[in-house]
Amino acid sequence: MNAWPFFLELLQVLALAAVAPLFAGWVKMLKCWSQGRSSPGLLQPLRDLRKLFAKDVLLAENASWIFRFTPYLVFSTALLAAGIIPMLSVDLPLALTADVIVFVALFAIARFFTALAGLDIGTAFGGMGASREMTIASLAEPAMLMAIFTISLGSASTSLAQIVSSIQGGQLLLRPSFAFAILAFVLIALAETGRIPVDNPATHLELTMIHEAMILEYSGRHLALIEWAGMMKLSLFCYLGIAAFFPWGIAASRDLRALGLAFAAMVLKLAALGVGVVLVETGLAKMRIFRLTEFLGAAFLMATLGMLSFFILE
Amino acid sequence: MSVEPLQTACGAVILLLALPVMALALQRSQRLLVASSFTLSAVASLLAVVAGAVCVARGSVSTATLVLGLPELPFTLRFDPLAGFFMVVVGLLSLFVSVYSLGYVRGLLGHRPVTRLVFFYNLFLAGMLMVVLANDALFFLVAWEVMAVASYFLVVFEDERVENRRAGFLYLVVAHVGAVAILLSFGILAGLGTGFASFGGYSFDAMRQISLSPGWATAAFLLAFFGFAAKAGVIPLHVWLPEAHPVAPSNVSALMSGVMLKTAIYGIVRVTFDLLRDLPWWWGAIILVFGLASAVLGVLYALMQHDLKRLLAYHSVENIGIILIGVGLAAIFRAFNLPLLAALALTAGLYHTLNHALFKGLLFMGAGAVLHATGERDMEEMGGLIHRMPWTAALFLVGCVSISALPPFNGFVSEWLTYQAFLLSPSLPVPLMKLLIPMGAALLALTGALAAACFVKAFGITFLGHWRGHRKPQVREAGWTMRAGMLLAAASCLALGVLPSLVIDWMDSVAQQLVGARIGAPASALGWLWLTPVAPERASYSGGIVFLGLLTMIPAVYLLLHIRPGAIHRVPIWDCGFEKLTPRMQYTATAFAMPIRRIFGFLFAVRERVRPTAYAGAAPYPRRLGYSLRVRDRVWGWCYQPVADVSFLLARQVGRLQQGRIQSYLIYSFVTIIVLLVFLR
What contacts A139, CB < 8 A, 6 or more positions away? A292, A293, A296, A297, B449, B599
User: Do residue B570 and residue A59 have CB atoms under 8 angstroms apart?
Assistant: yes
DSSP track, B262-282: HHHHHHHHIIIIIII----HH
Q: Which of B438, B453, B569 shows the shortest C-beta gap to A58? A: B569
B59 dihedral zone (left: phi>0; alpha: psi -120 to 50; beta): left
The pLDDT, as a whole number, for residue B523 is 64
- Determine which of A197-201, B6-10, B457-461 has the lowest per-residue pLDDT on average: A197-201
- The overall average pLDDT reported for chain A is 89
Q: Is the CB of residue A91 less than 8 Å away from at least one CB of chain B? A: no
pLDDT in tens, B99-120: 999 999 998 888 888 899 999 9
Break chain A into its structural domains and give their ranges. Answer: 4-313
Residue B367: Cβ-neighbour burial (10 angstroms; 0-12, 13-18, 19+): buried
The pLDDT, as a whole number, for residue A155 is 82
User: A-chain residues within 8 Å CB-CB of B387?
Assistant: 64
pTM for the complete prediction? 0.94
The pLDDT, as a whole number, for residue A43 is 93
A307: closest chain B residue by CA: B435
Q: Is the CB of residue A262 less than 8 Å away from at least one CB of chain B? A: no
The pLDDT, as a whole number, for residue B618 is 67
User: Do residue A76 and residue B574 have CB atoms under 8 angstroms apart?
Assistant: no
Helices (H), chain A: 4-34, 44-54, 65-84, 100-120, 124-155, 160-169, 176-192, 211-214, 220-245, 256-283, 292-313
pLDDT at B296 over 70: yes
User: Do residue A131 and residue B591 have CB atoms under 8 angstroms apart?
Assistant: yes
DSSP letter assigned to residue B476: -
Q: Which of B407, B442, B465 shows the shortest C-beta gap to A122? A: B465
- For residue B628, what are the β-bridge partners? B609
Highest mean pLDDT among A63-72, B623-632, B659-668: A63-72
pLDDT in tens, A63-117: 999 999 999 999 999 999 998 888 888 878 788 788 889 999 999 999 999 999 9
pLDDT at B586 over 80: yes
- Of B382, B236, B365, the closest CA to residue B312 belongs to B365
- Determine which of A14-28, B197-211, B587-601, B656-670 has the lowest per-residue pLDDT on average: B197-211
Q: Rg for chain B (alpha carbons), in Å?
A: 27
Question: Which band of pLDDT confidence, cut at 50, 70 and 90, is reported for residue A197?
Answer: confident
DSSP letter assigned to residue A20: H
For chain A positions 189-208, those within 8 Å of chain B (CB to CB) are: none
User: A-chain residues within 8 Å CB-CB of B460?
Assistant: 115-116, 118-120, 127, 130
The pLDDT, as a whole number, for residue B525 is 67
Question: Which band of pLDDT confidence, cut at 50, 70 and 90, is reported for residue B615?
Answer: low
For chain B, what percent of residues have pLDDT higher than 90? 57
- For residue B136, what are the β-bridge partners? B203
Q: Which of A80, A112, A135 shows the shortest C-beta gap to B596? A: A135
The stretch B282-300 carries a mean pLDDT of 94
- Determine which of A192-206, B157-171, B358-372, B639-653 has the lowest per-residue pLDDT on average: A192-206
- Determine which of A32-41, A270-279, B374-383, B425-434 has the lowest per-residue pLDDT on average: B425-434
User: What stretch of H or E contains B443?
Assistant: helix B431-463
* Number of residues that this document lists for chain B: 681
The pLDDT, as a whole number, for residue B213 is 85
User: B-chain residues within 8 Å CB-CB of A64?
Assistant: 386-387, 464
pLDDT at B1 over 60: no
The pLDDT, as a whole number, for residue B522 is 66
Interface test with A, best of B564, B592, B602 (most A CBs within 10 A): B592
The pLDDT, as a whole number, for residue A206 is 65
The stretch B375-381 carries a mean pLDDT of 88
Break chain B into its structural domains and give their ranges. Answer: 600-614+623-681
What ipTM is given for this predicted complex? 0.95
> What are the distances in angstroms from CA B222 to CA A118, A253, B76, B262, B325?
48, 55, 25, 19, 17
pLDDT in tens, B306-344: 999 999 999 999 999 999 999 999 999 999 999 999 999
User: Do residue A108 and residue B461 have CB atoms under 8 angstroms apart?
Assistant: no
User: Do residue B446 and residue A138 have CB atoms under 8 angstroms apart?
Assistant: yes
What is the longest distance spanned by two Cα atoms in chain A?
60
Q: Is the CB of residue A163 less than 8 Å away from at least one CB of chain B? A: no
Question: Which band of pLDDT confidence, cut at 50, 70 and 90, is reported for residue A4?
Answer: confident
pLDDT in tens, B18-58: 999 999 998 888 899 999 999 999 999 999 999 999 999 99
The stretch B284-293 carries a mean pLDDT of 94
Q: Is the CB of residue A80 less than 8 Å away from at least one CB of chain B? A: yes
The pLDDT, as a whole number, for residue B471 is 83
User: Do residue A145 and residue B445 have CB atoms under 8 angstroms apart?
Assistant: yes
The pLDDT, as a whole number, for residue B518 is 83
Residue A176: Cβ-neighbour burial (10 angstroms; 0-12, 13-18, 19+): middle
Q: Which of A124, A138, A145 shows the shortest C-beta gap to B587? A: A124
Question: Which band of pLDDT confidence, cut at 50, 70 and 90, is reported for residue A172?
Answer: low
Q: Which of A112, A139, A216 shows the shortest C-beta gap to B404? A: A112
Interface test with A, best of B304, B551, B597, B599 (most A CBs within 10 A): B599
The stretch B74-94 carries a mean pLDDT of 94
User: A-chain residues within 8 Å CB-CB of B416?
Assistant: 101-102
The pLDDT, as a whole number, for residue A1 is 52
- The overall average pLDDT reported for chain B is 90
User: Do residue B566 and residue A58 have CB atoms under 8 angstroms apart?
Assistant: no
Rounded Cα distance between B483 and B489, Å, is: 10
- Of B485, B491, B490, B493, the closest CA to residue B101 belongs to B485
The stretch B611-639 carries a mean pLDDT of 79
Question: Which band of pLDDT confidence, cut at 50, 70 and 90, is reported for residue B2?
Answer: low
